[in-house]
Chains A and B, each alone.
Chain A
Amino acid sequence: MTGRVRRQRGESALGAIAVLALALYALFIVTPVLMSAWKSLTDENPLLAHARFVGVSNYTDMLHDDALKSSLTFTLVTALAVTAVANAAGIGFALLLNKTSLSYRVMRTVAFLPQVLSGVIVGFVWRYILAQDGVLNHLLLSTGLIGRPVTWLGSPHLAMFSVGLVAAWVLTGFTTVVHLAALQSVPVELYQAATVDGAGRWARFRRITLPMVAPGTTISVTISLITTLKLYDIIAALTSGGPANSTQSTALYIINLAFTDDRFGYASAVAMLLLVVSAAIALTVTGLLRRREVDL
């Protein structure tokens, strides 16, 4: 068999795999999105066999939906705050763990653990930690830092903070690993040369580390944002969206609309809105960060 024939067969096999991948993508991603787009133009109810075409009325209804507005506000604020905190912490941890010894490798694995845990498990674990008589309050009370239990999940503002804290904890595992991978590709010679030139720690971090890990930061920030914008499982287990819907993310609101309020059509319209908002934010942020990579 000639090399040319082998190459042709290899390319054909790759083509077939690509076709399969595209078919799967079309089946599991494109089709549901298209179906959701269609349903958003109907008054579909999960209990009824037939739905009516209602045009864009689901979309115009969103303009007067206060619950949607507050869920979007909560989602956007949480996404921005969690992304900022998780990425700052990720860079910090990555700098600390950027060593080659066994103990550091073990610590890296530990740092990544939250990311591999199911969101539901994370939610339940943190519910025990943050409960009125939970681990955190016991700890703070026993050390005398507080005089009475803090209602971490029982007051709207603290519950919002708690959800953000838990989401940031989970994402920090991911951002640490991404930044660590980026850090390990920075040539040591750059630091050595900078040190010879008299650059201090901050200058080395600002002028070498940040620019060199910038591509990793772009990926990390974008994925953190997208993950937080569709946050559902952690919230469902931690607060169920309460108290008083203060931690109801848009994803949780969509589920409630569909399965509690029986408004599949409207829920689909809100899902389309979330899709567009997420895509717009992701594209904008990616564009800005790529431009920043060049500037750095």
Chain B
Amino acid sequence: MSMFSIFNVSGSAISSQSQRLNVVASNLANADAVAGPDGQGYKGRQVVFETVPMGSDASSGVKVSAIRESNEPMKRVHNPSHPSADADGYVLQSNVNPVEEMVNMISASRSYQNNVEVMNTAKTLMLKTLQMGQ
């Protein structure tokens, strides 16, 4: 039954999008984190999506192939009273841009909703197909 693979395809998309939401959540949570004693602050992360063939040519799902760390420079904030400030009074903060992350979050949740809707429609159609001829 070919329509069953819709659940695999949309399911893979939903799990990838929820992984993306997770990454966004951890980026946002660490947006204001300062570098620890080792001088390594939190680096923003981004998921990388990749197409995976599922069964036939017609259906292709999604998977998260990698989670990459952003290479943008850390934010340097002048705050001499901060306990982890360096000799010049600067504190290194994470390189996460909260506005970008919010946009990313909205995009991920919209895609998630779309895929849930696809699954619901497929389910309704299949249930109606089961009742064929009655």
Question: Does A associate with B in a complex?
Answer: no
Chain A residues close to B by CB (< 8 Å): none
Contacts from B to A (Cβ < 8 Å): none
